[in-house]
Structure 1
Amino acid sequence: MATPDLESRLLGALARPGRPSTDYDLNPDVMRPASRTLRPAAVLIAVRPASGTVILTKRSAALRHHPGQIAFPGGKLDAGDADAIAAALREAEEEVGLPRSAVRVLGALPSHETVTGFDMTPVIGMIDRDFTPRPEAGEVSEVFEVPLAHVTDPARFLVQSRRWQGSRRHYYTVPYGPYYIWGATGRILRALADRMAV
């Protein structure tokens, strides 16, 4: 995929109207507590233009939340973060060693509500220079890349389910090789895929 074409497609996807997504989209019967308080968070959809790939991580099995799951670099906003973009860039630098100065931010998708109580902003950025990923041992067990064309092709997504907290929950998956991409990461990628397919 040529870089100008890829960038223009991503900018087009960002410009299209769309509603926020949630982990509840495929589970309309699941009631969300009216008194819930969502914590702001952000993730970075970091794209390498030359290879047309996006960076993902495998979370450490020792983590309390979502151990071993596939995720974008990211996390909750800290007091020192100016906004969601700053948080996404900071977290990517901490988790995978991606220098903030190497990322050119294109924009952000509508936020995504997770079942764990986060209001997560997906930030899309182009990696403008080469870097060698360096996983942060306490949080990340592996850093890898997948073709953006694969994870933004609606035909590659499946809807699967499992029992969670006493009920059956449905969710999007977009498997790639040995990697089972699902949950919030799968839902955010599906939202991007829908926007890029127009």
Structure 2
Amino acid sequence: MLEKLHERLQAHAPRRLGLSLPQAAVLIPIVARPEPTLLFTRRAAHLKQHGGQVAFPGGKREPDDPDLLTTALREAQEEIALPPRRVRLLGRLGDLISLHGIRVTPFVGLIPADLPLRPELGELDSIFEVPLTVFLDDQRSHTDVITVNGRPLYVPSYQAGEHVIWGLSSMMLVELLAVGFERPISLDRAPDDSRLHYRPEARQPVFDDSSDA
């Protein structure tokens, strides 16, 4: 399954936004267990932005970062003590724009199951894993409807114990599931059997159709 994922992501031409905005990158870590999992972080509750929210490891690009992959790996090392050399890069997903006007680029990486990871407590409250099957089987708790420039986006929300996975992280997951695992999931259509939660209209586009590829 994971080798096929690698092939599909390598063949994928991800969306690249041609907008002049601050840049950030995240790593979507897939843990190579007999039953693979996805690794998430929960931001520290005291943070002014995104406090208490679930996210993938990542952050803003620093001036010394030669590229965005370096940003994603550096942030993962700082946040969860993940050595960059232990990450097998599987591919890149399309750029998104956060509500704070930051262009975010996701990278998908495979990591071993036996790493002694730990959260950077100044930034994170915890690290946790969720079985990949939760997302492959579309075990969403509900669907958030987020209107962007008059266009509704149907974003899955997942409940993993005490954690809620939604928003930008879920948008990344939709692309990962559709491209990497050929699941029939899309932000452009509502699922047939999910409760809809309507959220306020977004102030910034989460993506557009311009490209600098």
Alpha-carbon spacing, 1:11–1:62, altered in 2? closer, same or farther (3 Å): farther
Aligned equivalent of 1:197, options 182, 185, 193: 182
Match of 2:164 in 1: 180
Equivalent residue letter for 1:38:
L
Q: How does 1:5-84 map to 2 (within 5 A)?
A: 5-17=1-13, 19=15, 37-50=20-33, 51-84=35-68
Question: AA paired with 2:27?
Answer: L
**AA matched with 1:42:** A
Residue 117 in 1 paired to residue 96 in 2?
A: no
Q: CA deviation at 1:155?
A: 5.8
Distance apart, 1:185 and its partner CA? 0.6
Matched, 1:103 2:74: no
The aligned amino acid for 1:52 is P
Question: Which residue does the alignment assign to 1:27?
Answer: none
Q: Is the 8 A contact 1:153 1:197 kept in 2?
A: no
TM-fit CA distance, 1:94: 0.4
Separation (CA, whole Å) in 1 of partners of 2:100 and 2:130: 26
Task: Name the CA distance, whole Å, in 2 between partners of 1:13 and 1:169.
Answer: 23
- The answer to whether the Cα contact below 8 Å between 2:15 and 2:93 also exists between their aligned partners in 1 is no
Deviates more, 1:172-181 or 1:71-80: 172-181
Task: Tell me if structure 2 keeps the 8 A contact 1:152–1:194.
Answer: no
| Structure with the bigger percentage of helix | 1
Aligned with 2:140 (options 127, 141, 156)? 156
Q: Give the 3-state SS of the residue equivalent to 1:156 in structure 2.
A: coil
Distance, in Å, in 2 between the alignment partners of 1:107 and 1:93 is 19
- SS of residue matched to 2:130: strand
Q: Which runs of 5+ in 1 are unaligned?
A: 22-35, 163-167
Displacement of 1:114? 1.1
| Distance in 2 between residues matched to 1:8 and 1:78, nearest whole Å | 33
Distance 1:53 1:72 in 2: 13
Q: Normalising by structure 1, report the TM-score.
A: 0.78
Aligned mates of 1:82, 1:68 — CA distance in 2: 30
* Aligned CA distance change for structure 1 residues 14 and 64 (closer, same or farther; 3 Å): farther
Q: Deviations over 1:56-101 (max 9, x none)?
A: 0000011111110000000011011111111111000100111111
* Separation in structure 2 between the aligned mates of residue 126 and residue 169 of structure 1, nearest angstrom: 29
Residues of 1 paired with 2:116 and 2:125: CA distance? Answer: 15
Three-state SS of the structure 2 residue aligned to 1:175 is strand
For 2:46 and 2:6, how far apart are their aligned partners in 1? 34
Whole-angstrom CA distance in 2 between matches of 1:9 and 1:161: 28
Query: 1:88 pairs with 57, 72, 90, which one?
Result: 72
> What is the CA–CA distance in structure 1 between the aligned matches of 2:122 and 2:89, rounded to whole Å?
27
**Contact 2:25/2:59 (CA < 8 Å) preserved in 1?**
yes
Residues 53, 146 of structure 1: 8 Å contact kept: yes
TM-score (norm 2): 0.73
Cα RMSD, aligned residues only: 2.6
